[in-house]
Each structure stands twice: as C-alpha cells, then as structure tokens.
A and B are shown apart, each in its own frame.
Chain A
C-alpha cells in the first residue's frame, strides 16, 4: 500500500509564482487535511476535507486554496507565493481518528 503520497518532495519558488502541491491516498479515506510545519510552532492545520466536494478552512488558510473532486486527491494551491509560506507541508488522511501522513513537501519561497 502506498498510503499517502505527496509530490514534489522539494520545491523552490520565486515570490508571486503559483504552484500546486499534490496529495493522493489509496486507502479510501473520507477525511483529508493539509498542515504546515514551522520551527517552534508544531503543525498547523491549513485546510481540510470531510469528503469529495467538501472542504473547509483550518487555522491558517490565508494564501492557500484547496479542492476535492475525488476521494483520492486533495491538492493544495498557492496562488501567489510569499516568503512567509516557506515551510514543510504535510498532507494526511484519516479514518476513525487514525491518521496517515505523507512524507512532506519542503517549500522555499525566495
């Protein structure tokens, strides 16, 4: 089982560029979420989805968009990257409270 797959693993963007972080899971989990991890701040919830077609904002949603057209995929879009979005991003899926995390995307915005 692949679990949760995130791509790319590393990315460098220039300020103002846009990009999409991909997340796919093969466990048929309804609940998926995106977190960012910053030093001294733990993981903070950006957006989450309780099923295809349903998304909602988390703790730090500004600057990010999401959509959920299928159960498997939950992409995170940065429309206009800013240096403050330099972080490590984790996607997770869960079922009955058991979370599976991807291996992360390290994003640097210069």
Chain B
C-alpha cells in the first residue's frame, strides 16, 4: 500500500535559518503530494501541493518539488520565522475509480527560536 516517510522531529532552529524537512513516499501510479501545517490547537491547513512529476509547490516562502526519480517531496524554506513554529505533515493522495485516500506521514514538529 501507499506510505509516506518523513523526517523525525522535533526540529529546533534559530530565526532566519534554512529549513529542510525530508519526505519520501511509496505509491503505485502517480499520486498528488501535499504539505500540510498544523498550528497549535488548530486543524490541518494545506501549505502547498504538487500534482505531477517536477512540479514545484510554493506558498509563504516554503517550496517543495515533486521528484519522481527519488520519490521525494522535501519541504524547504530559506529563512524561517518564529511564526513558522508548527507541526508539518507530508501527505499523498491517490484516487481510484472515484474513491480517494489521503495518506499522511508522522509529522515533524518545528520550533523556531528568536
């Protein structure tokens, strides 16, 4: 079945540091890939997505590129802020005959220190 493996946390960085959170996946066919963010006490919000190989998703300074050859979708940001502190989930979506499933990674807790 489908699976998503993402970088173990927690991750603690200083403000303005460079961020990478690794994500790799296993799936048949051509899934869509997502990064979701969960701020304290809230539900998940879509951060960015990519629907086919070599697509780059971007939002709020975060980027991730769909790499089919390495089955990866790593999240990056050039300069993190305290407000980026949250839990980040990598996910894949696969749709078959009208049914679809969203499979999540375990989440990576990110803390940014001023």
Hey, which bits of chain A sit against chain B, CB under 8 A? 4, 31, 33, 35, 40-45, 48, 50, 56, 58, 90, 92, 94, 97-99, 101-104
- Which chain A residues lie closer than 8 Å to B99 at the CB level? 50, 56
Distance of A43 Cα from B106 Cα, bound (Å): 7
Distance, CA A33 to CA B99, complexed state (A): 12
Q: Is the CB of A50 within 8 A of B104?
A: no
Instruction: Point out the residues of chain A lying under 8 angstroms from B69, CB to CB.
Output: none
A103 to B105, CA, bound (A): 19
| A94 to B93 CA separation, bound complex (whole angstroms) | 12
Find B104's partner among A31, A40, A42 (CB 8 Å cutoff).
A42
Q: With the chains together, A9 CA to B95 CA distance in Å? A: 31
- What is the CB-to-nearest-CB distance from B77 to chain A, in angstroms, rounded to a whole number? 21
A-B pairs with beta carbons under 8 A, tally = 46
Q: Can you list 20 contacts pairing A with B, beta carbon distance less than 8 Å?
A: A4-B43, A35-B104, A40-B106, A42-B89, A42-B104, A43-B44, A43-B104, A45-B102, A48-B101, A56-B99, A58-B101, A90-B43, A90-B44, A92-B102, A97-B32, A98-B46, A99-B46, A101-B44, A102-B43, A103-B43
Contacts A58-B101, A99-B102, A103-B42 aside, 11 further interface pairs with beta carbons under 8 A come to A40-B106, A42-B104, A43-B44, A45-B101, A45-B102, A56-B99, A92-B44, A97-B93, A99-B44, A103-B41, A104-B43
Q: Are B105 and A42 in contact (CB under 8 A)?
A: yes
Across the A-B interface, give the 9 residue pairs with the lowest CB-CB distance, nearest first.
A101-B43, A42-B104, A42-B106, A43-B104, A101-B44, A103-B43, A42-B107, A102-B43, A42-B105
**Residues of chain A within 8 A of B101, CB atoms compared:** 45, 48, 58
